[in-house]
Chain A
Amino acid sequence: MVNKVEMKDVSKIYKRGKSEFRALNGISLSIKEGEFLSVMGPSGSGKSTLLHLIGALDKPTSGNILIDSIALSSLSDDDLSQIRREKVGFIFQQFNLLPTLTARENVLLPLKIANRVSSEAYRYADEIIETVGLKEFNNHLPEEMSGGQMQRVGIARALVIRPSIILADEPTGNLDSKTGEEILNLLKGCQEQYKQTIVMVTHDAKAAAYGDRIIRLKDGQIEEEMEVTNALPISNI
């Protein structure tokens, strides 16, 4: 299978005054098309930084990252914005819906940003809204929806541009366990239905088990990597 994302010896160093903080330390990683990768690790292990770099939100200090064989390291801020709007879908822990827009308008937002306002794109958006089970909530504002419903909108918004990769940052972190399970099932379903590549950062071992593969980070390095099989008990994760 084709690699959607490749990281080659990637390091990220943050400077705070005179001191330096090495958030990622020479990570190399490949993510295959249609793969669901879970990233785990304690706070400060570099999970978020990894997500920022794959999502073209930030640039590595050294090493290279390729999305669909495009090297991100040398791109300008405008080019990185283009990568984000065309190749990356984000699912946020806080949902990050715009409060003045309805559910459907929030879903259509990435299309408007990418200037893809064709009727075909709108039809696809409606199909996704139906897939995530929000057809009846089309005209609801975020304040009129539950956490689970808002995260469904977030998922639909990430899918609507047919991204190369979806990055989910603790997508169940703000939800109760039952709703969290529904959202994870939905993500898994989307992976299967749309052959979608997904990278999910989570603290929750049970959530991580929805992935096909799990990597565990520690001190900016991959400490452990494992394939998820049906036989793998959660306690092992």
Chain B
Amino acid sequence: MLSLFRTFNLRYLIKHKLRTTTIIFGVALGVIMVVSTMLVNQSILRSYRSLVDKAAGKTDLQVMSNTDSGLPASMANEVASVKGVKAAIPVVHRDGFVFIEDKQSGVLLVYGIDPNKDKVARDYEFIAGRQVKTGEDDAVVITKTWARENNLKIGDRIGFAGVEGIKRFKIVGLLANKGPGQINAGLFAVIDINAARVLFNRIGKVDQVDVVLEDEEKPKVVQSRIDTRLDGRAEVEIPATRGLEVQKTLEGMAFFLNLAAMLAVFVGAFIIFNNLEMSVEERRFGISVLRALGLGRKKIFSLVVLEAILLGFVGSAFGIIMGSLLAKAMSQALAGFVVTELRMRATDLGLTPQILLIGVLLGPVVSAAASVGPASRMLKVSPIEALKPFETAWRPKSSAWKLTISTLVFLIGVGLLTVGLFIPKFLDIISKDTRQLANYLMLAILISFLGSVLLMPHLLSTLLSILIRCGRLCSFTLRMVFDNMRRVPGRTAATITGMMIAIAMMIAVTCHAGRLVKKLSMLREKSFAPDW
């Protein structure tokens, strides 16, 4: 079998390089999108966690301003006096434009802290140097990660753009890559709270009060007490729940990226199907010769599927490499977006065994699935065709049961989608879990597309028959074109459906991306509002 595969299939693939490359590209397209999407999703979610979770530390509650003007500094003492509060830690935080040797070198999330109080909320671990001291107005602590990236060491000076121009700070400590050292993926600096007030024009103000509770106090109970005390002058939130909205938005982005990846796999499958169809049709005569020489139907089927699986593996390998590179590029583009909008950066682009396995298997599985149609058609090749090659010209037959099934699948898909989108109460019945709802919608979209794929050849055949009958309206050349398209409706339909899905995908992703940017900007402004 393998020996036959080497001579019959491999030789053909090597000779028809363009077709082989196109099939591999089709496989790679899906794998690239899936791998890069998974990597970016993983990266964004981890970055988000590094921003919110690490920043919160041991904080149970956070008191934040409900306007841009910040909170009065006295509010920390007011909160500290509430029953059940162990410590109320004032924080000034801003995004600071940082300068190294007078060159602007990005943006750091700067925390202005009270060094004595802050250690209750966060465990700072240093690999070199020390924490800033109370009242030390020119000392800064940065992370080991960012120091390494910018060749900085203890004693070096960096500047922050403030209301009075660039103010220089001396690096007195380097944070280890854990706990607060991981905040904002290392794009983080700590200065004394008073220095931060002067730098960012927050005299007499704080941006946030982090609250640590007495043992056995319930956050919700104390939250209610603080709310009563502050009487609407500030918002009191539990950090874990404060992040939920952002997390939900990011999951929305992940859903759309997953959808785009899934559709890319779909489009890729059409490219594979189309080219395999042409490729096996070209070899139809060769296959009839093999049949005449005694090759059984099952082996013919296996040869075609095996060829698809091999191309699938090559496509997967190519896709994994390209997907990783694309993820880096996407993450850099996102970092651009993230740095300007969210001030966080995408990290952890490493291939996990799970992503690698999915990438490796996706290509062969999709290719094998796409090859079932062409391979099944080759099962019908009669060995007699080898003796009378000019008498056989394959014309597909449309059947009523195929049309019925196609219509049914299409209607089920559209029905599920319509119910999901326009009858919100129905979704409540299915589940309240947003992930389950997303999966439901994804399935509905997939079934609708599958239905349209199955239905397209029938619609196309009917349409082309009508067009051909309009003989007077069409030129001879055009009629020939229509007839040629009608001869292989499966292939023609695959091309049209592939294009249709690609366009639908582009429109959906573009619309969603715009909405997402708006929403994330809004959320970011709420949490870490810049003052420029």
A72 close to B (CB within 8 Å)? no
Closest B-chain residue to A111, C-beta based? B3
A88 to B293 Cα, complex, angstroms: 8
A14 to chain B, nearest CB (A): 11
Pick the contact of B294: A82, A117, A169 (CB < 8 A): A82
Pick the contact of A77: B4, B292, B297, B387 (CB < 8 A): B297
A54 close to B (CB within 8 Å)? no
Q: Which one of B15, B382, B387, B388 has the greatest number of beta carbons of chain A within 10 Å? A: B387
B129 close to A (CB within 8 Å)? no
Pick the contact of B384: A57, A82, A94, A157 (CB < 8 A): A57
If A48-B387, A94-B389 touch, does A113 touch B290 (CB 8 Å cutoff)? yes
Pick the contact of B289: A85, A96, A108 (CB < 8 A): A96
Over the window 261-293 of chain B, the binary record of Cβ atoms lying under 8 Å from chain A Cβ atoms (1 yes, 0 no) is: 000000000000000000000000110011111
If A101-B11, A113-B4 touch, does A57 touch B293 (CB 8 Å cutoff)? no
A51 close to B (CB within 8 Å)? yes
Q: Are B384 and A81 in contact (CB under 8 A)?
A: no
A112 to B5 Cα, complex, angstroms: 10
Chain A residues positioned under 8 Å from B12 (CB to CB): 100
Over the window 71-86 of chain A, the binary record of Cβ atoms lying under 8 Å from chain B Cβ atoms (1 yes, 0 no) is: 0000001100111111
A33 to B296 Cα, complex, angstroms: 27
B7 close to A (CB within 8 Å)? yes
A contact residues vs B (CB 8 Å cutoff): 48, 51-52, 55, 57-58, 77-78, 81-86, 88, 90, 92-94, 96, 98-101, 105, 108-110, 112-115, 117, 157, 169
B352 to chain A, nearest CB (A): 41
Pick the contact of A52: B4, B8, B387 (CB < 8 A): B387
Total of A-B residue pairs, C-beta within 8 Å? 79
Q: Are B7 and A84 in contact (CB under 8 A)?
A: no
Q: Are A109 and B293 in contact (CB under 8 A)?
A: yes
Pick the contact of B293: A52, A85, A117 (CB < 8 A): A85
* Given contact pairs A52-B384, A57-B387, a sample of 12 additional A-B residue pairs in the complex whose CB atoms are under 8 Å apart: A48-B388, A57-B382, A57-B384, A58-B384, A81-B294, A81-B295, A84-B294, A88-B294, A96-B389, A99-B286, A100-B11, A169-B387
Q: Are A101 and B7 in contact (CB under 8 A)?
A: yes
Chain B residues positioned under 8 Å from A88 (CB to CB): 294
Pick the contact of A105: B7, B289, B290, B387 (CB < 8 A): B7
Chain B residues positioned under 8 Å from A84 (CB to CB): 292-294, 383
Q: Are A96 and B386 in contact (CB under 8 A)?
A: yes
Chain B residues positioned under 8 Å from A115 (CB to CB): 1
Q: Are A112 and B7 in contact (CB under 8 A)?
A: yes
A117 to chain B, nearest CB (A): 6
Pick the contact of A85: B3, B294, B298 (CB < 8 A): B294
Q: 30 A–B contact pairs at CB < 8 A?
A: A48-B387, A48-B388, A51-B387, A57-B383, A57-B384, A57-B387, A77-B296, A78-B296, A78-B297, A81-B291, A81-B297, A82-B294, A83-B294, A86-B294, A88-B294, A90-B293, A90-B386, A96-B289, A96-B292, A96-B386, A96-B389, A98-B286, A99-B286, A100-B11, A101-B7, A108-B7, A109-B7, A109-B290, A109-B293, A113-B294
B196 to chain A, nearest CB (A): 74
A93 to B294 Cα, complex, angstroms: 18
A196 to B390 Cα, complex, angstroms: 30
Closest B-chain residue to A97, C-beta based? B289
Q: How many residues in B have their beta carbons less than 8 Å from beta carbons of A?
A: 27
A114 to B290 Cα, complex, angstroms: 11
Q: Are B384 and A117 in contact (CB under 8 A)?
A: no
Q: Are A90 and B292 in contact (CB under 8 A)?
A: yes
A55 to B386 Cα, complex, angstroms: 12
7 closest Cβ contacts across the A-B interface? A85-B294, A84-B294, A100-B11, A81-B296, A112-B4, A96-B289, A113-B295
A48 to B389 Cα, complex, angstroms: 13
Chain A residues positioned under 8 Å from B293 (CB to CB): 84-85, 90, 109-110, 113, 157
Over the window 226-247 of chain B, the binary record of Cβ atoms lying under 8 Å from chain A Cβ atoms (1 yes, 0 no) is: 0000000000000000000000
Q: Are A92 and B291 in contact (CB under 8 A)?
A: no
If A52-B384, A94-B389, A100-B15 touch, does A114 touch B294 (CB 8 Å cutoff)? yes
Chain B residues positioned under 8 Å from A92 (CB to CB): 289, 386-387
Closest B-chain residue to A110, C-beta based? B293
A82 to B291 Cα, complex, angstroms: 10
Chain B residues positioned under 8 Å from A94 (CB to CB): 389
A81 to B294 Cα, complex, angstroms: 4
Q: Are A98 and B386 in contact (CB under 8 A)?
A: no
Closest A-chain residue to B3, C-beta based? A112
A57 to B293 Cα, complex, angstroms: 10
Q: Are B294 and A98 in contact (CB under 8 A)?
A: no
A85 to B289 Cα, complex, angstroms: 12
